[in-house]
Amino acid sequence: MRDRSGESGFPIKPVYDESDLPPGLAERLGAPGAYPYTRGVYPTMYTTRPWTMRQYAGFGTAAESNARYHALLAAGTMGLSVAFDLPTQMGYDSDEPIAHGEVGKVGVAIDSIDDMRLLFGGIPLDKVSTSMTINAPGSVLLLLYQLVAEENGIPGSALNGTIQNDILKEYIARGTYIFPPKPSLRLVADTFAYCRKETPKWNTISISGYHMAEAGATPVQEVAFTLANGVEYVRAAIEAGLAVDDFAPRLSFFFVARTTLLEEVAKFRAARRIWAGLMRDEFGATDPKSLMLRFHTQTAGVQLTAQQPEVNLIRVAVQALGAVLGGTQSLHTNSYDEAIALPTEKAARLALRTQQVLAHETDLTATVDPFAGSYVVEAMTDEIERGARELIDRVFAFGSSVAAIEAGFQKREIEASAYRTAQEIDAGDRVVVGVNRFATDTEEPYEPLRVDPAIEAAQAERLARLRAERDGDAVTRALSTLRDAAAGTENVLYPMREALRARATVGEVCHALRDVWGTYRPSETF
């Protein structure tokens, strides 16, 4: 039999037996819902209710995205997941020159509270869980969401959802940062404190390995770099005066699910075990919820192919199966056409149906942790835990995750892994069905969803109208107060909320913070 290795480099044996498992395995694994949470964060897992089924969606205008959300909810989606366009993610308004050509393209354009009202029109925000994939201006979009909810009589205490708010991975793998690391971490800590008081059910951060994995990180790197960033956020919050058990229960994580199903299941188990140990042993957390690594999963977009796109349906099903067997708390399944364009409504519905089949037509929800005691999965879990702990130590040998980022360490490691993968695909050593094996000479025609370029002009008109209608002096005063807070030590979210209430735009709020904190420029030594 041919020897194989995992994505993280450890060998996969053709046969595993009891010699591969440590003595006292049951005691080491613990029970479901108990430390170290290897077997899941809740005692009953999916036996009483399935994971939350989310579909990541957002494109064009707020009105168009609102129609898609209503369609997804009618199809059985249990939670919304909002995609924002690049200008919004970078803290620019749609009518700024830098936004030209990108308005509404990879997500919805949100410039002000007016757009947020349209985006969630007719949606019961006290009954729907909403995840917003937004980082540098994450607090801005959360405040807009809260303001719209309050206009509809829904208090912040009733809101349930997540903002990604994970700025450190932006410096490593994605690039939609605005401010330098230090003020960015302050903004994260201010958000923790604000949400504890104003929106206590809200998950204040989704610490993401997904984007690092999409950039080429192995499972070991994904776990190690994500949890190292998590440690950095915990340290920042504690330094800001917060007690660990006051904010840690609202931390959440975001991982990828690849087609290498067994290793992915092991990855999720190892990540839970490492995080529980870090929180208990390094930070002295005592609340069990502070020790739980709760996470959202998205299937691997980087593994989708434009060639034979229908094959992506199978890939996504396998990836989703790995996430469920690994114990995810919520899941987004990619649409089969996403390697080509924004997903069509039919493709998005099929992606949701994939989850529904797993939840309702299989026996996955009949038992907790089906792979417990599996020779191969338990051995792989140990391998990933060992490799991730060693890599976490290498990160903190720099002094902190931020120091390692500034030295370019994580970025270099991920780029090296991505290069090795590309070489394997090019050489045919790593099979990609429909690309380097089992290809066809012809492809069936496909009509992708296209975003109307007129959206940019329409958004500019909306902004012009907003600026003409609002009280300009009130906006100027509110932005000045925000700058003063940013230059001092008070929580910036409170003056930020008042500026947004006065109808300041997302870009104006972010520019006010740029005036004080500056913008980040990566080192040329990366």
Q: Indicate if 386 and 271 belong to the same structural domain.
A: yes
> Are 222 and 329 in the same domain?
yes
What's the pLDDT band for 301 if we cut at 50, 70, 90?
very high
**Both 385 and 512 in a single domain?**
no
Of the given ranges (52-56, 110-114, 183-187, 288-292), which has the lowest mean pLDDT?
52-56
Regarding whether 396 and 482 lie in a shared domain, the answer is: no
Residue 207: phi, psi to the nearest 5? -75, 120
User: 467 lies in a domain?
Assistant: yes
Residue among 276, 278, 163, 177 at smallest CA distance from 232: 278
d(CA 45, CA 36): 15
DSSP 14-55: S---GGGS-TTHHHHH--TTSTT-TT-SSSSGGGTSPPEEEE
**185 or 10: whose pLDDT is higher?**
185
Quote the percentage of the chain above a pLDDT of 90: 82
Determine, yes or no, domain membership for 384. yes
Alpha-carbon torsion 290, 292, 298, 302, what sign? positive
Q: 458 and 416: one domain? A: no
Which backbone phi and psi does 366 adopt, to 5 degrees?
-85, -20
Give the H or E element holding residue 493. Answer: helix 493-501
- DSSP-derived secondary structure letter, 334: P
Residue 145's pLDDT band (boundaries 50, 70, 90)? very high
* pTM of structure: 0.89
Does residue 43 contact residue 369 with C-beta atoms inside 8 Å?
Answer: no
Highest mean pLDDT among 73-77, 104-108, 140-144: 140-144
Q: Is residue 9 part of a domain?
A: no
> Domain tally for the chain?
2
Kindly state the tokens that stand for 430: 């790593």
* 423: exposed, middle or buried (Cβ count in 10 Å: 0-12, 13-18, 19+): exposed
- Lowest-pLDDT range, 22-26, 185-189, 398-402? 22-26
Q: 448 lies in a domain? A: no
pLDDT of 293 above 90: yes
Task: Find, among 377, 508, 450, 362, the residue nearest to 106 by Cα.
Answer: 450
What integer best gives the mean pLDDT of the chain?
93
For residue 182, the one-letter residue type is K
Q: In this model, does residue 3 exceed pLDDT 80?
A: no
Q: 285 and 240 in one domain?
A: yes
Tokens of 159: 């809101």
Which residues are within 8 A (CB) of 390 and not within 5 positions of it... i.e. 6 or more apart?
A: none
Q: Is 410 left (phi over 0), alpha (psi -120 to 50) or beta?
A: alpha
Per-residue model confidence (pLDDT) at position 16? 79
Report the C-alpha gap between 256 and 302 in whole angstroms. Answer: 10
Same-domain pairing of 209 and 254 = yes
Cα(508)–Cα(317) distance, rounded to whole angstroms? Answer: 42
Q: Indicate if 188 and 309 belong to the same structural domain.
A: yes
In a domain, 15, yes or no: no
Flag whether pLDDT at 451 surpasses 90: no
Q: What is the pLDDT of residue 526?
A: 40
Identify whether 82 is part of a domain: yes
Which residue range forms the structural domain that includes residue 489? 454-517
pLDDT digits (tens, 9 = 90+) for 477-495: 999 999 999 999 999 999 9
Give pLDDT, residue 1: 46
- What is the Rg, in whole angstroms, of the alpha carbon atoms belonging to the chain? 23
Does residue 173 lie within any of the structural domains?
A: yes
State how far Cα 249 lies from the chain centre: 17
Residue 472 and residue 408 share a domain = no
Q: Which residues contact 17 (CB under 8 A, 6 or more apart)?
A: 375
Asked whether residue 315 falls in the same domain as residue 388, the answer is: yes
Beta carbons of 114 and 462 less than 8 angstroms apart: yes
Is residue 400 very low, low, confident or very high in pLDDT (cuts 50, 70, 90)?
A: very high
| pLDDT tens digits for range 48-81 | 999 888 776 677 789 999 998 998 888 888 788 8
Residue type, 100: H
Backbone φ and ψ for 56, nearest 5 degrees, come out as -70, 120
For the stretch 401-416, pLDDT in tens is: 999 999 999 999 999 9
> What residues have CB less than 8 Å from 184, skipping those under 6 apart?
136, 167, 168, 177, 178, 520
Same domain, 147 and 274: yes
pLDDT score at 287: 97
- 8, part of any domain: no
User: Do 464 and 419 have their domain in common?
Assistant: no
**What CATH number is attached to the domain comprising 192?**
3.20.20.240
